[in-house]
Amino acid sequence: MTDTIRNPLLTGFNPDPSICRVGEEYYLATSTFEWYPGVQIHRSWDLANWTLATRPLTRAAQLDMRGNPDSCGIWAPCLSFADGLFWLIYTDMKRYEGNFKDGHNYLVTAPAIEGPWSDPVYLNSSGFDPSLFHDDDGRKWLLNLKWDYRQREGGDRFGGILLQQYDVERKRLVGPIHNVFAGTGLKLTEGPHLYRRDGWYHLLVAEGGTGYQHAVTMARARDITGPYEVHPDNPVLTTRERPDNPLQRAGHADLVETPAGDTYMVHLCGRPLPDTQRSPLGRETAIQRVVWGEDGWLRLAHGGSAPALDVAMPGVEQRAPAAEERYAFKPGALPADFQWLRTPHPERLFSLDARPGYLRLYGRESVGSWFEQALVARRQDSHYCSADTELEFEPEDIQQFAGLIAYYNRFKFHYLAVTLNDHGDKVLSVMGCHDEWPSGRLDIDASDAVVLEPGRPVRLGLDIRERELRFRFAQGDAGWQTVGPVLDAGLLSDEGSGRAHGYFTGNFLGMAAHDISGRGWQADFAGFRYRRESR
């Protein structure tokens, strides 16, 4: 599509975008939550086409999420460039349910986007969504929301936006802490970013929560510590009153200026399945053109406050993703699209060198473990898609199982697993978990278990058609056969749990091995194929 960008810009789980420009290049960072390595950073030359540049948090000194609950870990990174360095601010959230939030904010730097990235500098733990602002006078300021565990009557636990100076030489926050903005009536004020323009400090925040009431609001002040006056047309961006818009949950944004002086806003959004409020692709990243009015306030270029699906950008041609991705497993590193869960010690989970041409997984803790789980997967980025792999696995016990998995979190997954039955037969079984604790339980349909021929590989596949997920398998010269019932693909989403606040990630498709006997039994996967299907 020429001269137009079709949203979302980054499809599949890519929330909380932070963007910066260095010369002619743009860099965009998004949250990764419990998936390792931490933070996705994409690169673009034209704002329309993006490639994954790096995931910078790669070692234990920077990030260790073992024990972090679902949807904790890396929240809302902020990426900027100043003084010849990239500056990356991030939260490692250790707990988020209930009155308390235990989140620790850190800073790492690098001379180039590929690194080397420094060991972290600890900043504070007063609240999440930290952001670093580089002022014109050379001073640097950290912003983050203040978490108020009390939740007073008529209010919420989002206690305003804090501002404090960061001392580069001493590598610590210094001076007084200013609470500069209490937010608007939309409440749940978070995601702050600060900009300087025409003598004003412009504060952009996310409000309304990250669900279907999400929004972007703005305020400005002559002095960095305020007082901040609220934008007369807030919210600047939202779909809270537009359930017909294909880009729902619009909010949590950042701004970037092109070399030509045009301004664009990147923001998160969600694309729910038709006639539902379930988004298995998770929160994605979109882009909008914005303009500064004669009154000095920022607004959407196309008018109103609802995001546009198609954004005019003369001179660009947005490339469609490949219809099929084939991944070969070679010695060295995983293919870039794949991640694993929580641990900075992947050598205990998998190896690409033990058997060249295969991904060897070492079965560890149970599916859904918050500590050490051998699960390697990539994002689902289309409502119509398929995936398949070939597995060699000879279990010795019912406590050993491996296979193909569609995974959202510990209580929401569908798993086509090879294991043993009570008679010692090698079987293929469909496992799933469909709810929250304490009602959440593992469902295994033993009546659909398929006896496999031992000593031979088995091909495993799945097909997703919007709300429906169906597993299939093949062994030897036989063609594909379906196995198990039609499953609910919409369950694997933020909203699929029925919780009031949902979760924050997206569905992943990949390979898993579990050995709850503790023997670390191995499973070998020969390649992986992912296909985006036409309707």
pLDDT at position 174 over 50:
yes
- What pLDDT is recorded for position 439? 47
Is 372 an active-site residue?
Answer: yes
CA angle (28, 337, 113) in 5-degree steps: 35
User: For the residues 451-479, what does the mean pLDDT come to?
Assistant: 96
CA angle (17, 20, 23) in 5-degree steps: 150
Residue whose C-alpha is closest to residue 412's, from 334, 458, 469, 450:
469
Distance CA 439, CA 411 (A): 10
pLDDT at position 498 over 80:
no
Question: What amino acid occupies position 124?
Answer: N
- What is the spatial order of strands in the sheet that 298-300 belongs to? 248-257, 263-270, 283-292, 298-300
Please say whether the beta carbons of 22 and 85 come within 8 A: no
Q: List all residues 6 or more positions away from 497 whose beta carbon is below 8 Å from its beta carbon.
A: 411, 412, 435, 436, 503
Query: Could you give the percent of the chain with pLDDT greater than 90?
Result: 91
Distance CA 273, CA 312 (A): 26
- What pLDDT is recorded for position 438? 44
Q: Which residues pair with 510 in a beta bridge?
A: 377, 405
pLDDT at position 102 over 80:
yes
Residues in the chain, overall count: 535
- What pLDDT is recorded for position 448? 61
pLDDT category of residue 411 using cuts at 50, 70 and 90: confident
CA 493 → CA 68, 296, 508, distances in Å? 19, 39, 10
- pTM confidence score: 0.96
Distance CA 476, CA 456 (A): 8
For residues 62 and 422, which has the higher predicted lDDT (pLDDT)?
62
Domain formed by 2-317, architecture: 5 Propeller (2.115)
User: How deeply is 403 buried, as exposed, middle or buried, from its count of CB atoms within 10 A (0-12, 13-18, 19+)?
Assistant: buried
Q: Please provide residue 494's backbone torsions phi and psi, each rounded to the nearest 5 degrees.
A: -50, -45
User: For the residues 383-401, what does the mean pLDDT come to?
Assistant: 97
pLDDT at position 405 over 80:
yes
Q: 448: helix, coil or strand?
A: helix
Distance CA 276, CA 40 (A): 28
Distance CA 292, CA 191 (A): 21
Domain edges within the chain: 2-317, 324-532
Tokens of 206: 């996310």
Does 324-532 match 2-317 at the fold level?
no
Q: Please provide residue 185's backbone torsions phi and psi, each rounded to the nearest 5 degrees.
A: -65, -10
Please say whether the beta carbons of 388 and 530 come within 8 A: no
Spot the catalytic one: 25, 325, 365, 372: 372
- What pLDDT is recorded for position 19? 98
Tell me what the pLDDT averaged over the chain comes to.
Answer: 94
Please say whether the beta carbons of 338 and 378 come within 8 A: yes
User: For the residues 89-97, what does the mean pLDDT come to?
Assistant: 95
pLDDT at position 21 over 80:
yes
Q: List all residues 6 or more positions away from 162 whose beta carbon is below 8 Å from its beta carbon.
A: 126, 127, 143, 144, 145, 146, 177, 178, 179, 180
Distance CA 181, CA 173 (A): 19
- What pLDDT is recorded for position 433? 83
pLDDT tens digits, one per residue of 229-286? 999 999 999 999 999 999 999 999 999 999 999 999 999 999 999 999 999 999 999 9
pLDDT tens digits, one per residue of 438-453? 445 566 655 567 999 9
Residue whose C-alpha is closest to residue 208's, from 227, 229, 228, 183:
183
How many helices (DSSP H) and strands (DSSP E) are in the chain?
A: 0, 40
pLDDT tens digits, one per residue of 132-166? 999 999 999 999 999 999 977 777 899 999 999 99
Tokens of 306: 């609802």
- What pLDDT is recorded for position 97? 85
Q: 228: helix, coil or strand?
A: coil
pLDDT at position 321 over 90:
yes
**Right CATH number for 324-532 from 1.10.1660.10, 1.20.1560.10, 3.40.50.300, 2.60.120.200?**
2.60.120.200
Distance CA 75, CA 91 (A): 5
Buried b / exposed e along 321-346 (16+ C-beta atoms within 10 A): eeeeeebebeeeebbebbbbbbbbeb
